[in-house]
Structures are given as C-alpha cells and as structure tokens.
Chain A
Amino acid sequence: MSRRVRLLLFACAGPGLLAVLLIGLHGLPAFGDFHGVYGLLVDHVEPGQRHATDVVTALNFDLRAFDTLGEEFILFASVSGVALLLRHLRDEDEDLESSRSVADHRFAGASDALRVLSLVLIPLLVSLGVYLALHGALTPGGGFQAGVVLAAGPLAILLAGRYLALKRVAPQWMLEAADATGAAAYALIGVGGLIFASVYLKNFLPLGTSGHLLSAGMMPLNSIAVGLEVTGAFLLTWTEFLDQDLLVAREEL
C-alpha cells in the first residue's frame, strides 16, 4: 500500500472516528455524576459488617477476595514465565564471583550525593511498605501497594550503583520463596474460610474494633500475603532483567 492510499484511507476513516467519538462523549453522564448502586451498597456494607475503614481493600480482600486470588496467580504465572524465559538464556554455571569486579565496575556510576540519597530512601521505603501492608484495611493502600513499595526499597541499592549488594541483600532463592509463600498463603487463608466458615475465602476471623490494627477479620492477613508475593514478584522480575546485563558483561570477557 503506497503512502498516498494510506493517507486517503486515513482522510476517510479519521473524521469518521472523530464523529463517533464526539457522539459517544456527548452521551456521557456529567462529571462526578455517580449512579453505581453496587458502589453505594459496598460503601454502606463494608465498614458496618466487616469493620474495615478502607473500602477498596475491603472489596479486594473480602467481598471480591476470589477475584484477587485470580489476579495474584496471574502475577505469579507471568513472573514465573519471565524467570523461565530469561534463565534459559543464561549460562548454566553462572558464578558471580568471577564476574564481580567487572560487574561492580559496570554498575558503579553513582555520585556520592546519589549514594547518600539512596541510603536515606531505603529505610523510608521499607517502613512505608510495612505500614501499607499492616494498615491495608484502615488507610488507602493494601497488599499490592505495599508490595511494590517494599520492592522499590532494595531497588534503591541499584540507584547507589551497587547491584551486586542488591543481589546479596535479596538473593534469588529468597525472592522466589517470598513470591511462592505469599501466593500459597493467600490460597490457604481461603481454605481456612472453607474449613471454619464453609465457604472458600469467607471471613472466619474475629472482626475486632473498627479502626484498630487487628480488625476487619482476615483482611490484614490477606494484605500481608499479597504484599509478600508482590515484593518477591517485582524484585524477581527486576533482577532477572538486570542479570541480563551481567550476562552481556560476561560475554565480553
């Protein structure tokens, strides 16, 4: 197809698409107009019956806990896929010791200011992540957010130009274990519901006082399990991709 035919096609299709979009936009409800009966119901039910003050977490870890189970295993499967795919390309006898000096040199481009900054960032990120995991049912956040923030903590070591220190702080086996333990723990909490409440993933723990750290039944546990899994999953993906750079470094030797 020549450039002229393509332009002609666009000249016909473009205004048509624009017209349809404008008609569609014209029919949208006004900004801030909300008619979601389900949303209003959840707003009403969750704080009262589940003692959770963050309705989003309540939705994720209680009312639609089964959906979250699916999402969690989507993440688990995709990270396993990445690990499997990239591991295939790596040398079988990978030993970091021999390439350490080369690799440390390659990643050591950080200035002193950047190193100090990342040193400050690490404890802040880790404590924020722990806070988010524990307060999932109380304040905005929850398992996934906690996981990504916790994973960003060790990543700050990379910012300081110390990738191999990151590998020592968070070795592969530990990340894999965190990923698998988190996913398994969430599924097993569901089994707890099956045993004690006769419905899979139904709340079976005492609800406690609304607003307290240990309240909202199984939500804090689910939040911690998801946080653990997401931390492992993200760090595993990042290290798998960054390991590819070590591989390139080794090929050069």
Chain B
Amino acid sequence: MSALQAVALLVVVVGGTAMVLVPDPLRQTLVLSVYGLALTLLFFVFQAPDVALSELVVGTVGMPVIILAALRKIAKHAAMREQEEQGDGE
C-alpha cells in the first residue's frame, strides 16, 4: 500500500467518524459533502476513476442537495406547527 492510499484511508476514517459525531443535521449535511470528496479521493488513489466520478457527483452534490431540500421542508413544517400551537394556547 502506498503512502497516498494510507492517507486517503485515514482521511475517510476521520471523515466518517466526524460525520457521525456532528449533532446538527444541517452541518452534518455539509460534512457529508466533504466526506464524499474524501471518498472520491480514496476511489481515485485505489485506481477506480469511474467509481470516483460517480461518487464525486452523487456523494458530494447529489445527496446533500436532496437532504438540504428535505431539511428545509421539515424546518418549515416545525415552525408552522409551533405557530398553530401558540394560536391554540391563546
């Protein structure tokens, strides 16, 4: 195993752990995006450039965009429900 491969593996291990440990879903999504970049690097140094290309778009852009849209919707719903509950209380 070359030094580059060892470093890439280490980055992925650290990135994966960091992603799990981030509590806020919004920040977690951004860490996921960076983690996707780390995985891309890993696939590339392990000589799988085609997998790296897929991961680059799907993991770094595709999934975070979907999660961000979902998070926004959830936040809106939570805010609306809170407003309704306050309205009932008065």
Contact = CB atoms under 8 A, between A and B. Distances in A.
Question: B interface, by DSSP: helix, strand, loop or mixed?
Answer: helix
Nearest to B53: A145
Interface in A139-154: 140-142, 144-145, 148-149, 151-152
A234 B63 CA distance: 10
B61 interface: yes
Contact of A151 (B53, B57, B80): B57
B81 interface: no
Interface in B41-73: 49-50, 53-54, 57-58, 61-62, 65-66, 69-70, 72-73
B61 A132 contact: no
Contacts of A149: 53, 57
A76 to B, nearest CB: 17
A140 B56 CA distance: 14
B1 interface: yes
Interface of B: 1, 49-50, 53-54, 57-58, 61-62, 65-66, 69-70, 72-73, 76, 80
22 contacts: A32-B1, A54-B50, A56-B50, A141-B50, A141-B53, A144-B54, A145-B53, A148-B53, A148-B54, A149-B57, A151-B57, A151-B62, A152-B57, A152-B62, A238-B65, A241-B69, A241-B70, A242-B65, A244-B73, A245-B69, A251-B76, A251-B80
